[in-house]
C-alpha cells in the first residue's frame, strides 16, 4: 500500500489535482477530505506506469525540479530466484536505491530512483544483488537511454548531444563507446 504522496521538494502526482478537486467540490457544497478522494490515485499511477513502459515497476512518487523530473520507482516482485542455486528468496539483506538517467519526457530530463536490492539466500548463504532487465549493473543510465545516446551521437556529434542532454562530453563519449563495444560483441554491424 502506498502511503507517501510527493515530497517536500516537488509535488506528488495527483496531489495538485486532488486539492483542486477538493476545492471545487467544497465550492459546490460537497464536503470531503483528501483522504476520502485518495482512491483516485491508483488510476493515475497506472497511467504513469504505462507511460514509463518498464517491466515490473510502478511509479511511487513523481516530482519536478529545475527542468528535471524525478520518478521514484518500486519493484513489483517481492523476491528473486537466487542466481547461484535457483532457490527463491524474498529476504532482503539491504536496499540502497540508486539514481539513473532515463529518456526525457516532454523536453525534460528524467531521473529514476530505482531500488537496488540485495537479497539473502537461506539455502546457499549468499547475498545476490537483484538484476534488472532495463539497467545493467553499476550503470547510471537505463539501457534504453544509453541506446538513445548512441543513436544520437551517430546522427550529430558528441558535443551537440552533450549540450542537448545536459551531460558532459566525456559522459556522452563513454556511453557511445560502451554501446558500440557491446554491439560489436553481439555481432551487430556498425554504421560509423
Ligand atoms: Zn542461493
Buried-state track 1-10, b at ≥16 Cβ within 10 A, e below 16:
eeeebbeeeb
CA of 62 to the centre of ligand 1 (A): 35
Q: Which of 137, 138, 139, 113 is nearest to 58 (CA)?
A: 113
What is the pLDDT at residue 29?
58
Residue 174 and residue 182 in contact, taking contact as beta carbons nearer than 8 Å: no
CA of 84 to the centre of ligand 1 (A): 5
Residue 110 and residue 102 in contact, taking contact as beta carbons nearer than 8 Å: yes
Q: What is the pLDDT along the chain (192 residues), one digit of tens a residue?
A: 333 333 333 333 344 454 555 565 566 555 544 443 333 355 556 678 888 899 999 988 888 877 788 898 999 999 999 999 999 999 999 999 999 999 998 888 999 999 999 999 999 999 999 999 999 999 999 999 999 999 999 999 999 999 999 899 999 999 999 999 999 887 765 554
CA of 75 to the centre of ligand 1 (A): 21
Query: In whole angstroms, how far apart are CA 28 and each of 15, 32, 176?
Result: 20, 11, 57
Q: Using alpha carbons only, give the angle 129, 54, 44 rounded to the nearest 5 degrees.
A: 120
3 state DSSP class of 110 = strand
CA of 120 to the centre of ligand 1 (A): 8
CA of 86 to the centre of ligand 1 (A): 6
Residue 82 and residue 121 in contact, taking contact as beta carbons nearer than 8 Å: yes
Give the rounded distance of the alpha carbon of 80 from its chain centre.
19
Amino acid at each position: 500500500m502506498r502511503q507517501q504522496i510527493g515530497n517536500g521538494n516537488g509535488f506528488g502526482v495527483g496531489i495538485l489535482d486532488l486539492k483542486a478537486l477538493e476545492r471545487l467540490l467544497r465550492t459546490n457544497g460537497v464536503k470531503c477530505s483528501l483522504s476520502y478522494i485518495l482512491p483516485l490515485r491508483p488510476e493515475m499511477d497506472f497511467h504513469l506506469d504505462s507511460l514509463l513502459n518498464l517491466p515490473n515497476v510502478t511509479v511511487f512518487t513523481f516530482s519536478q525540479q529545475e527542468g528535471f523530473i524525478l520518478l521514484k520507482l518500486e519493484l513489483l516482485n517481492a523476491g528473486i530466484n537466487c542466481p547461484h542455486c535457483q532457490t527463491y528468496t524474498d529476504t532482503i539483506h539491504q536496499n540502497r536505491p540508486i539514481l539513473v538517467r532515463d529518456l526525457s519526457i516532454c523536453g525534460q530530463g528524467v531521473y529514476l530512483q530505482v531500488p537496488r536490492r540485495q537479497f539473502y539466500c537461506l539455502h546457499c548463504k549468499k547475498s545476490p544483488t537483484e538484476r534488472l532487465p532495463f539497467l545493467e549493473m553499476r550503470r547510471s543510465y537505463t539501457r534504453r537511454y544509453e541506446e538513445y545516446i548512441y543513436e544520437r551521437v551517430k546522427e550529430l556529434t558528441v558535443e551537440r548531444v552533450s549540450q542537448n542532454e545536459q551531460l558532459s562530453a566525456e559522459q556522452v563519449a563513454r556511453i557511445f563507446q560502451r554501446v558500440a563495444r557491446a554491439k560489436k560483441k553481439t555481432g551487430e554491424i556498425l554504421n560509423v
